[in-house]
Structure 1
């Protein structure tokens, strides 16, 4: 392979199917996200416990965006191992949480990893197989829909937006966070820098296109903000301090961020009240 060619990464089915991404040190702990590092230590090396804490904080950042959670019904789209869905139930008092993932192996693992929480909260935590553009839920069945570092994989963002609008009750809210391209030119440039885009693991969705799709689907009160300053540099510092992580492809995300090609976003949108 030429020196200027980015390394290859496993396919989407491999990395979330037979291969358990949570076993990779870069994604320690099972939450499988880059983390929210605003309160992470910057005066000492980052421990694995610190790293896992940043992954939990990314979930909490999303869950705090719901004005009310107590007793409400929620769904996580792209739940992975389901630890974030369990955190949502245990810390935020939802009446029920359903975690959806397209990969059957992830659904199986989620049920196994969170068996104790499910036993402690009978009937309140469920994991099901489902695609973002075909949510296996009835119309107007949830109050809160969230997705954490998964939408960059969704092949059909308008389809996801329509499904989100369909399953949300009147007055319900969607909150998602992940990384998106900053514009069309950036989207075209990303595969040349990041192997996850070149190999199709991540899709170069443009942030403004995502919000436009949500609006087109009938959601309102759209809000979008960037949190890249609390993600990329600190995460890269963590990778750099661990010998086996120093040369991994995730370090190219900081380069992409510094070049203005991508950023990390939090997007919220509401299902309008009716009647």
Structure 2
């Protein structure tokens, strides 16, 4: 778990849900990862840093822009304009709000497996929910069992959550079920590099999030193949590592010294064990 001395305590813990892996329950519930300063703004992602000048000292505004830009990169691919969209692993729902305000979908539903995240999403977006109750909603559900009807959505997107999904084939089947014919999917997350030797063991040695079981070490082909088997067409995986890892490490350098485990994300990428991908697909 990424935490530091300036992080605040999370809310009182609910009883753990046996359907949620313990590391996920703790990190996104009692520990409240969104409150850790490294995730400035509450988006809980590593950021897409292409538009940020990494040659100068980084500000909190730069950090928030990187998090928003990762959402924009995914939403550009998902294209929710005018349609019904669902975000899987919505966290505080700030990406749902960004989608609603900048991309003009008819409706956005945020889904998250953790009840405390849904509570926080409703609190963080209270004004928007009150102003647009017919266009924004949040509901609890797992990626492998989405609480939605068949063909309910025109697009499905997910930002930095799939590294936690325990069953990628089940997620792919659910995505196919809830998307209408012609519906689009866009998933951004980090996966092991194809052909990397002993990636799970090496990542567990480098990164606490893998050693604890929070993140799951799998090649991106596990997702692309699952999408193909679920009936998706035009399945593609594109590395966006150059736009993620250097900027993320520059931001981490404000809080952690070289050699501390959070700084090893960059090392894992440089050693070609781990990379960040945008996966896109279309339901025929």
Q: Secondary structure at the match of 2:77?
A: coil
- Structure 1 position 16, deviation (Å): 0.1
**Aligned residue number for residue 225 of structure 2:** 212
Query: 2: distance between equivalents of 1:122 and 1:257?
Result: 42
**Aligned residue number for residue 56 of structure 1:** 68
**Aligned residue number for residue 105 of structure 1:** 116
**Aligned residue number for residue 65 of structure 1:** 77
1:182-235 alpha-carbon deviations (Å, 9 max, x no partner) = 136324422122111111000012101110000001111111100101111121
**Aligned residue number for residue 158 of structure 1:** 169
**Aligned residue number for residue 3 of structure 1:** none
Call closer, same or farther: CA 1:22–1:176 in 2, change over 3 Å: same
**Aligned residue number for residue 82 of structure 1:** 93
Q: Where do 4+ consecutive residues of structure 1 move more than 6 Å? A: 6-10
Query: 2: distance between equivalents of 1:174 and 1:55?
Result: 20
Query: 2: distance between equivalents of 1:7 and 1:237?
Result: 15
TM-score (norm 2): 0.89
**Aligned residue number for residue 27 of structure 1:** 39
* Unpaired segments ≥5 residues, structure 1: 1-5
1:201 to 214, 219, 233: 214
**Aligned residue number for residue 250 of structure 1:** 262
2:127 to 108, 111, 116: 116
**Aligned residue number for residue 224 of structure 1:** 237
1:247-274 alpha-carbon deviations (Å, 9 max, x no partner) = 65321100100000010000001000xx
Contact 1:26 1:245 in 2 (8 A): no
- Structure 1 position 115, deviation (Å): 0.9
- Structure 1 position 27, deviation (Å): 1.0
Call closer, same or farther: CA 1:53–1:8 in 2, change over 3 Å: closer
**Aligned residue number for residue 141 of structure 2:** 130
Q: Secondary structure at the match of 1:65?
A: helix
Query: 1: distance between equivalents of 2:125 and 2:160?
Result: 20
1:162-185 alpha-carbon deviations (Å, 9 max, x no partner) = 000000000001100010011363
- Structure 1 position 106, deviation (Å): 0.2
Query: 1: distance between equivalents of 2:182 and 2:87?
Result: 18
Query: 2: distance between equivalents of 1:189 and 1:91?
Result: 40
Contact 2:191 2:275 in 1 (8 A): yes
After superposition, the CA RMSD in angstroms is 1.9
Query: 2: distance between equivalents of 1:145 and 1:124?
Result: 15
- Structure 1 position 7, deviation (Å): 10
Query: 2: distance between equivalents of 1:233 and 1:42?
Result: 8
- Structure 1 position 11, deviation (Å): 2.4
**Aligned residue number for residue 279 of structure 2:** 267
Contact 1:102 1:129 in 2 (8 A): yes
Query: 2: distance between equivalents of 1:151 and 1:264?
Result: 11
Task: Count matched residues.
Answer: 264
**Aligned residue number for residue 174 of structure 1:** 185
TM-score (norm 1): 0.92
Larger deviation: 154-163 or 34-43? 34-43
